Chains A and B, each alone.
Chain A
Amino acid sequence: MTGTAIVGVGESDLGVTNHSILTLQAQAITRALTDAGLSTADVDGIATSGVSRFSATQVADYLGIQPAWCDSTFAGGSAYEMYVARAAQAIEAGQASVVVISFASNQRSAKSRKLGGVVESHTPEAQFETPYGPLYPISYYAMAAQRYLHDYGATPADLAEVAVLAREWARMNPKAYRYGSEPLTVDDVLNSTMVSTPLTTADCCLVTDGGGAVVVTSLDRARDLRKAPIRILGYGEATTNTSMSQVPLLPTGARESGQRAFAAAGLTPSDVDVIQVYDSFTITVLLSLEALGFCEPGQAPTFVASADARPGGRQPLNTSGGGLSYCHPGQYGVLLLVEAVRQLRGEAGDRQVADASIALAHGTGGILSTHATVLLGEDR
């Protein structure tokens, strides 16, 4: 357990915004600071990526801040859970007092997303993978899904249930891209355009603009701020691969990441009241739930299709509607933290989970490359 807490959260405008990345960053950061009752003048630490080569430096410059500490570790969508760990360490070491963790993208407005992904020409992947034409990252997740279906006798309908559940939650979140959409059915998912078997377009996350920010400070300071502190109970991470050929597809690094986080917090999966796991693809959720210890191997489809994962259930899953139906700006990890905090504060409106006191946020980056887990709890 750490002596630090999240004290503010915010989203930028989401969906199709026609704003620049830095406008969206500024929205998310100022909204999170306002939520905390703080201002940019209080911030002495910044962690962000996806802006430019000097991401944290760039954001600091844009906000007019000269921070005492910064981090731009690039780890795709899991970086924001990693930043929570590093921010907690920096604060406990006395290097920073108020850290803002942020991300934003305008990828939908800017049409900047490419099916083949971004592969730098000097990397081994550019020589030994790109010539074959895999979709990046989709084809790697598709191969993980194919292996999962083979090993456990699961079916594409089991994958589809993840998207169906996400749509259910999104219909209760006014900020969700699919808020106001019709319910999704398993057949809808199975009949969607095939992209890379067994994954259809409906197995893939949204491509939207959006961003978010969270503010971290010491527990002592947190107790004097505007909102009730949400404690950082534990964290863990694992980094496994960049290539498509170097490690087994299953299980993923979420296993080690989760074990490290639960050990640090002195908790087990059954202690978690609300689960936020990265849903870049439907398969990502099944693999993560099992690797994190919420389900036995092969049993995640049963959980996802059950009442347990739904409103009023035992361990509600991805309550914002997730990257599949709420918002996916290319790196979704910071928005997992935003939703976890709102659920623990009781601010989640129609989708509020009753009596949630412990939440898990688990980020995944790249092609199941990076994994980071954060456990959050009420200050009791």
Chain B
Amino acid sequence: MIEDLRPVPDDVTQEWWDATRECRLLLQRCDECGNVQHYPRAMCLACSSFNLSWIDSAGTGVVDSFTVVHRAPHPDLATPYVIARIKLDEGPILLSRIVDAEGANISCDERVSLDWLATSEDFQLPVFRVSH
């Protein structure tokens, strides 16, 4: 993991990051109205309740859009890599990467599924690969 890019969890997000160590992609669901949201927040976007629980995402969705990055923002990041907005089947959109694919082989609205990218011994990020 490039230390400059390592996230610093907070009171709300610590459990989300803890779950990534077990390869679980969590989403927040409101106990009051059932709304599902990501990124994690203190309150429900739909009804403002603070009573939120975690659910496991099925890890499936579609490519909302993507871009192949050729000039990295950090000297230790190897290019090219694919940044994408993934619209999960549960509803929320997640910024992520698509791995094992070149840009020319990806298109918007294509189905993808969850995978994990280990960026150091003790850290992994939820990423996606094209479903075939």
Contact = CB atoms under 8 A, between A and B. Distances in A.
Contacts of B5: 130-131, 133
A243 interface: yes
Interface residues of A, number: 38
Contacts of A139: 67, 69, 83
Given A133-B72, A245-B85, A127 B9 contact: yes
B23 interface: no
Interface string B1-40: 1000111111001000100000000000000000000110
A33 to B, nearest CB: 40
B59 interface: no
Nearest to A200: B70
Interface in A135-155: 135-136, 139, 142-144, 146-147, 150-151
A132 B85 contact: no
A126 interface: yes
B130 interface: no
Nearest to B107: A150
Indicate the size class of the contact surface on chain B. Answer: 35 or more
Nearest to A140: B67
Given A134-B73, A146-B65, 7 more contacts: A127-B17, A132-B83, A133-B83, A150-B65, A197-B103, A245-B85, A249-B65
Interface of B: 1, 5-10, 13, 17, 38-39, 41, 64-74, 77, 81, 83-85, 92-97, 103, 107-109, 119, 125
26 contacts: A114-B73, A117-B73, A126-B7, A127-B39, A131-B125, A133-B74, A133-B81, A134-B83, A136-B73, A143-B65, A143-B83, A147-B65, A150-B108, A151-B108, A193-B70, A194-B68, A194-B70, A195-B70, A196-B68, A197-B67, A243-B39, A244-B85, A245-B39, A245-B85, A245-B94, A249-B65
